[in-house]
Structure 1
Amino acid sequence: MLLSESLYEALEASLKNLERPHSSIQSIGSVSGGDINRAYRIKTSTGDYFVKVNNDPLAASMFLAESNGLDILRNPLGAAHVPKTFLVGNARGEGFLLMEWIDTGNKHDAPQQEALGRLLASLHRRHADAYGLDHDNFIGPLPQNNGFSSDWTEFFIEQRLQKQLDMADQILDGTDLHKKFDRLFSRFADLYPCEPPSLLHGDLWSGNYLVDQLGTPVFIDPAVYYGNREVDIAMTKLFGGFSERFYDAYNETYPLQHGWEERVDLWNLYPLLVHLNLFGRSYLRAIQNNLKQYIGANS
């Protein structure tokens, strides 16, 4: 049995409570693609659903933050671009998030990439008065602090880079990375032009968007906050999966400032530090290489 008995019963009860009293589970299949959660497609007599499961003590909090993030994205983007969430629950220590199932199509063709670029640009046009969010959330399974700040340099250093550096203290033992980051911090404000706080997806790699069978792009697994929009753009470059038509369509809709390509590795220090904390020292070289561009090779 793919699901524990307690989780199976909790899901079946949840489906009946969703004004689907005659719904019954017909089959359950594993879904691949995630490193953190177990995921399943649930086929029922009234439709298909997607459920994510995790045994971590913080799982329910993580899933609640994810559900809240999707709600925040849905407001400016519309329901077609964000999956509906039905329930965050816990079944004897197994946290779960029940969502709508989306049948996916090809997301790499030019029309789909163009639509995705325009969609992200429209998201980034949603602005706030300060950087951050009114609640903390998660980046993957790691806590992400979002206390509001009017200063992007202060926010990105204190609530993004320094938090991850503190978490990685043991991994960094014996390296000079703390000193190198201190040198980066001393000149950080001079490395980028001002941008208003934009609503960000926050974890935008190629695995965190879908395209449905109508060709509509759909955002999933966000880590939302208001920040410099180049952070989202930079992360699309970290692991690839976005075509030139994506960037062209974005720039046609909401042009990026001159030199944005030169700042990609600056913003990607954050996800690289996250990956360092999640997966270990194999990410040290990439972090060192990124730092060299902004503090000098001999620093």
Structure 2
Amino acid sequence: MDRRRLERLTGAAAEQVTALGTGHAWSLWRVRLADGRQVFVKAADDRPGLFAAEATGLRWLAEGAGHAAPVPEVIAVDDHMLVLPWLPAEPPSPQAAERFGRELAALHAGGADSFGAPWQGFIARLPLDNTPADRWPRWYAERRIAPYLRLAARHLDRAEVGLVERVMAEIETLAGPEEPPARIHGDLWSGNVLWSGGRAWLIDPAAHGGHRETDLAMLALFGAPYLDRILDAYREVHPLAEGWRARVPLHQLHPLLVHVALFGPSYRGAAVEAARAALRASR
């Protein structure tokens, strides 16, 4: 990590620097600054636009929920570094899960001008096309499924590629009732929920105007703690459209294709089964 860069960005000397490992193409750090602040730092040598997109997404999510936003403040950002407050992790609790469900519902209700966003996005280290659109089904097929099917196709056979292509062809039927654009995190698996201070914080977003069922499906994908409590509290504030449970695989198809593209065939079976389940739901 470039300590001089960090000190220029924060205006304070770095007194104690602790390496936390790496993630995708960046390194992670905990730093105590001379002015008493403790910060979390992501650093990378050559990832233009990546940290700016994350910072823009965090700020945009915070704007949508006001003072109640479960989103950390962006302290500083440039092309090589993102600086956030240090949030000490703690075990989740049922009470924190219920609070999270209510706050996530309020965040989604903040809405967006369109599906997509006026900035170029990223999911992990992969570019994410946020070109705006007025309707979700074709936008999801063209901006979220198709690009990652192309990247994942080398790990799929022809029949499996055809299965995902059927999902795209039938997307208008599979998508369920139309909904206005929600202000969503966009990559809300359990690892991007940080439990601290009696609540859940949203980190590492791929934020955009999207379908709110996408965030809920992502929470289910790898098993968020107290998921039933989160969902029950969410639905008390912002009820979901009929059939939402059957559409979970449709919303999970995009992140699973991303995982196939990033990590190879170990996620192939899950992606193919999500496509099959999405198609079954329409019958």
Whether TM-score is above 0.5 comes out as yes
Does residue 31 (structure 1) correspond to residue 20 (structure 2)? The answer is yes
* 1:49 maps onto 2:32 in alignment: no
- Tell me whether 1:139 sits opposite 2:134 in the alignment: no
The runs of at least 4 aligned residues of structure 1 exceeding 6 Å deviation read none
Q: Find the counterpart in structure 1 of residue 49 from structure 2.
A: 61
8 Å CA contact 1:81–1:217 kept in 2: the answer is: yes
AA aligned to 1:38 is S
Shift of 1:250: 0.4
Which residue of 2 is the match for residue 10 of structure 1? 5
Aligned to 1:212: 196
Q: Distance in 2 between matches of 1:285 and 1:231?
A: 20
Contact 2:138–2:171 (8 Å) recurs in 1: no
Of 220, 228, 231, which residue of structure 1 is paired with 2:214?
231
| Count of matched residue pairs | 276
Q: CA deviation at 1:129?
A: 4.5
> In structure 2, what is the equivalent of residue 287 of structure 1?
271
Deviations 1:73-131 (A, max 9, x none): 111223562212222235xxxx211222222333x211100011011100111223531
- Give the deviation of 1:30 after TM superposition: 2.1
Q: Distance in 2 between matches of 1:168 and 1:287?
A: 10
Task: Tell me if structure 1 keeps the 8 A contact 2:164–2:272.
Answer: no
Q: Return 5+ residue gaps in structure 1 as ranges.
A: 17-22
The separation in 1 between residues aligned to 2:196 and 2:138, in whole angstroms, is 39
Q: Give the structure 1 partner of residue 204 of structure 2.
A: 221
After TM superposition, give the deviation of residue 67 of structure 1 in Å.
0.4
Please say if residues 24 and 44 of structure 1, whose CA atoms lie closer than 8 Å, have aligned partners that are also in contact. Answer: yes
1:204 & 1:32 partners in 2: Cα distance?
Answer: 21
Residue 170 of structure 2: SS of its match in structure 1?
helix
Instruction: Report 1:162-177 matches (<5 A).
Output: 162-172=146-156, 174-177=157-160
Q: Aligned-pair distance for 1:230?
A: 0.5
Pairwise mapping of residues 184-199 of structure 1 onto structure 2 (< 5 A)? Answer: 184-191=167-174, 192-199=176-183
Q: Once the 2 structures are TM-superposed, how far is the Cα of residue 36 of structure 1 from its aligned partner? A: 4.6
Within 1, Cα distance between the matches of 2:16 and 2:102? 37
- Supply the distance in 2 between the matched residues of 1:179 and 1:89 (Cα, whole angstroms): 41
Task: Answer with 1 or 2: which has the greater Rg.
Answer: 1
What does 1:40-119 align with in structure 2 at a 5 Å threshold? 40-46=29-35, 47-55=37-45, 57=46, 59-78=47-66, 81-89=70-78, 95-106=80-91, 108-119=92-103
- Tell me the residue number matched to 1:240: 223
Partner Cα distance (1:44, 1:195) in 2: 45
Work out the CA distance in 1 between the residues paired with 2:22 and 2:220.
19
Cα RMSD of the aligned pairs, angstroms, is 1.9
Shift of 1:294: 3.5
Question: What secondary structure sits across from 2:154 in the alignment?
Answer: coil
Please give the TM-score of this superposition, normalised by the length of structure 2. 0.91
Q: Secondary structure at the match of 2:194?
A: strand
CA pair 71-294 structure 1, distance change in 2 beyond 3 A: closer
Note the C-alpha offset of 1:257: 1.3
Query: Partner of 2:155: helix, strand, or coil?
Result: coil
Deviations 1:174-195 (A, max 9, x none): 4322211222222221122221
In structure 2, how many angstroms separate the alpha carbons of the residues matched to 1:294 and 1:102? 37
- Could you tell me whether the CA contact under 8 Å between 2:250 and 2:275 is conserved in 1? yes
Distance 1:269 1:40 in 2: 32
The answer to whether the 8 A contact 1:202-1:232 is kept is yes
